[in-house]
A and B are shown apart, each in its own frame.
Chain A
Amino acid sequence: MGQPHPLAEPLGLGPGDHVAWALDDGEYAGAVTSYFAEGVARREKLVFVNGHGEGCLDLLSELSERDQLLERGQLVLPPSDETYGRLLDHDIWHHVEHFERLAALAVDAGYAGLRVWADITPLTEDPHTLQRYLDYDVAIEATFRTCPATGLCALDATRPQAHWTRLASRHSLRRGRTDSPPMAVTMYDSEARLVGEVDLSCHDELADALSSITRTTRGPLRLDLADLEFLDVGGARVLAGFVTELAEAGRPVDLVGAGRLTARLLALFGVRATQAPAQASAQTPAQPPIDPETEPPAGGMTR
């Protein structure tokens, strides 16, 4: 968690990591191969949700023992449009539970966990499916905290920048080919988190990412601002609008961990936030509590 974290390579990722990745054709095969090779070393079940049809096999031609992996079912290659087209059919949480079941089945089958490379490029053709996926992307974030799963959402870097911006604003871990928003909205357990810096460059992206929270959660909401490093007046206006809209719908929002200036900015719009103790936020960066009972043996970037 914490600040939006730029990555250089799709390596060193493990359970708990949920990454956004923009890449072009020239680097695709190398990146997806490295990602899955690491999964093989970790004894994970590998899922390549791809938009390449027959061509996806070629992308994995350098993956050691590719055909054996396929043969014994450790590697599967479902197409993106079919997989995520189903998102329109049911409630988002139905799909999140489905993902959790897949992770549990992988463990039952003797794997250390589930490793998914999800190419969402085909979804950019249809705004409804893409929106649905982006909502799902926010909702499923917390699942990576509780399941032994690693996820990477890949997007063709040549697609319009707006697609990348929307994807990146829902991931703390990301690698873009172009500018990425300096903030991210994610879920952790049942609470939402806004991390990074909100300035003039990302007000629309913030509103868009928060709208996924509005659609995918129910009832009262807790929004943690402890890792929000900078907020400007325009960002406070967006945040206050989000809080007011939910409150008017009977959904109180508890804003916690706000810095002194963040609380002051929100007060300009009549919104109250609970301030973090003066020193606590500086000395104790927001980290997920580590439970030795459920902690996977080998973690990823987020730990």
Chain B
Amino acid sequence: MSTATTGTWTGERFAHEAFVFDDDEQVRRRCVPYVQEALERDEPVVVVAGERVRALLRDAFGSSTDGFAVFAAAEDSWHGASGTLAAYQDSMQPLLAAGAPWRLIGEPVWLAYAGGAAWSRFEGVANEAFADYPYYSLCLHDRRRLTPALIEGQLRTHPMVWDGSAPAPNPAYVSTAEYLRTVEPAWTETPGTARAVRISSVREAHRTIRALAEDTVPELRPDDAVLAVYELVSNALRAAGAAHVHRWDSNGAVVWQVSDDGPGMHDVAAGYTPPSREPTGGRGLWLARSLADEASVRSHGPGTAVRLYFARGAATGSGT
């Protein structure tokens, strides 16, 4: 039997489609057969969407929506980009444990919220992070509510689009690494005026970072910066036995760079993916990314360099 609404998806791996619509009729024509097919196959349906899309699905399916695995308001589901991805990953665990494929309708209305544009990075990262999850993710974008730039970001991070009758490869899609390089702060040379220290002692690490943070213009949230940098230094000490820390001011932000010479991860997407639920899994880089306003990762000789950006506080403020 042909699977018109999910194309060649076999229900074994992750499929990720961006659907852009101009009016309610377009979104109805895409979503109603998609959900209908899921119900016929006993596939769990997860809906996290804006009020209009939910109303439209309620019109079509009535009280059946009460039986959906999730039927939630996207307006209440935003916890910052990394927090939202983590909550999203958590919510999928029961479905993953059940072992059967499921279908998602997601409408990230939060793209238009303050800080929401960063969500596209996490959409890109999800392609790798959730590759083995057996679900079809249909992501809805309302052209009446999202700017062209926000929609472009979404199109660049979804491997598939709807061609009017079936899912098709998306010509605008780029690899996650390439996408991140274009949206993260440009990796300029470390300025010669940057304060620099080398840390090789676990006993001194915290004190040294704290002193450096108090040295010049403070961050708006100095404790967040100290913890985030500490975690990067901690990773570097484990990987290489020493960490090089640089700190400088740049366009209203305080930039911290932590680099090492050890064998480590060079994946530019490192730290975007929520940590595993295993207590032994690494969480430092993920935490650092979620505490910082911006972050980027690069190869650095044989090792790794990570930059964190924090909003600057007032030079003469209390700093606490």
Give chain A's interface residues, CB within 8 Å of chain B: 179, 182, 197, 199-201, 230, 232-234, 237, 240-241, 244, 261, 264-265, 268-270, 282
A233 & B279 in contact (Cβ 8 Å cutoff): no
Residues of B within 8 A of A201 (CB): 202-203
A233 & B283 in contact (Cβ 8 Å cutoff): yes
A232 & B234 in contact (Cβ 8 Å cutoff): yes
- The CA-CA distance from A232 to B205 in the complex, in Å, is 12
A200 & B279 in contact (Cβ 8 Å cutoff): no
A253–chain B nearest beta-carbon distance, Å:
16
What 11 new A-B contacts, CB under 8 Å, besides A201-B203, A232-B227, A237-B279? Answer: A179-B203, A201-B202, A230-B227, A232-B206, A233-B234, A237-B280, A237-B283, A244-B279, A264-B287, A268-B283, A270-B277
Instruction: Considering the complex, give the chain A residue whose CB is closest to the CB of B282.
Output: A233
Give chain B's interface residues, CB within 8 Å of chain A: 202-203, 205-206, 223-224, 226-227, 230-231, 234, 237, 275, 277, 279-280, 283-284, 287, 320
A-B pair count, CB < 8 Å, reads 44
Q: Given A261-B223, A261-B224, A261-B227, is A200 in contact with B234 using a C-beta cutoff of 8 Å?
A: yes
Residues of B within 8 A of A179 (CB): 203
B279 & A199 in contact (Cβ 8 Å cutoff): no
A125–chain B nearest beta-carbon distance, Å:
29
- CB within 8 A of B279: which of A197, A230, A241? A241
- The CA-CA distance from A9 to B175 in the complex, in Å, is 64
Instruction: Considering the complex, give the chain B residue whose CB is closest to the CB of A197.
Output: B206
Residues of A within 8 A of B231 (CB): 232-233
Residues of A within 8 A of B230 (CB): 199, 232
- CB within 8 A of B287: which of A199, A240, A265, A270? A265
- Most chain A CB within a 10 A radius of its CB, from B223, B226, B279: B279
- The CA-CA distance from A234 to B281 in the complex, in Å, is 10
Instruction: Considering the complex, give the chain B residue whose CB is closest to the CB of A198.
Output: B206
- The CA-CA distance from A233 to B226 in the complex, in Å, is 13
- The CA-CA distance from A226 to B275 in the complex, in Å, is 27
- The CA-CA distance from A179 to B283 in the complex, in Å, is 28
A233 & B284 in contact (Cβ 8 Å cutoff): yes
Residues of A within 8 A of B203 (CB): 179, 201
B264–chain A nearest beta-carbon distance, Å:
16
Instruction: Considering the complex, give the chain B residue whose CB is closest to the CB of A179.
Output: B203
- The CA-CA distance from A232 to B283 in the complex, in Å, is 10
A269 & B279 in contact (Cβ 8 Å cutoff): yes
B281–chain A nearest beta-carbon distance, Å:
10
A208–chain B nearest beta-carbon distance, Å:
17
Residues of B within 8 A of A232 (CB): 206, 227, 230-231, 234
- The CA-CA distance from A282 to B318 in the complex, in Å, is 13
Residues of B within 8 A of A234 (CB): 234
Residues of B within 8 A of A240 (CB): 279
- Most chain B CB within a 10 A radius of its CB, from A197, A230, A233, A237: A233
- The CA-CA distance from A260 to B320 in the complex, in Å, is 13
- The CA-CA distance from A268 to B237 in the complex, in Å, is 22
> Please, could you name 17 A-B residue pairs with CB atoms under 8 Å apart, sorted by A?
A179-B203, A197-B206, A199-B202, A199-B206, A200-B234, A232-B206, A233-B231, A234-B234, A237-B280, A240-B279, A241-B279, A244-B279, A265-B287, A268-B283, A268-B287, A269-B279, A282-B320
- The CA-CA distance from A241 to B227 in the complex, in Å, is 21
- The CA-CA distance from A232 to B230 in the complex, in Å, is 8
B315–chain A nearest beta-carbon distance, Å:
22
A236–chain B nearest beta-carbon distance, Å:
8
Residues of B within 8 A of A233 (CB): 231, 234, 283-284, 287
B223 & A200 in contact (Cβ 8 Å cutoff): no
Instruction: Considering the complex, give the chain A residue whose CB is closest to the CB of B287.
Output: A233
- The CA-CA distance from A241 to B283 in the complex, in Å, is 15
A200 & B227 in contact (Cβ 8 Å cutoff): no
Residues of A within 8 A of B277 (CB): 270
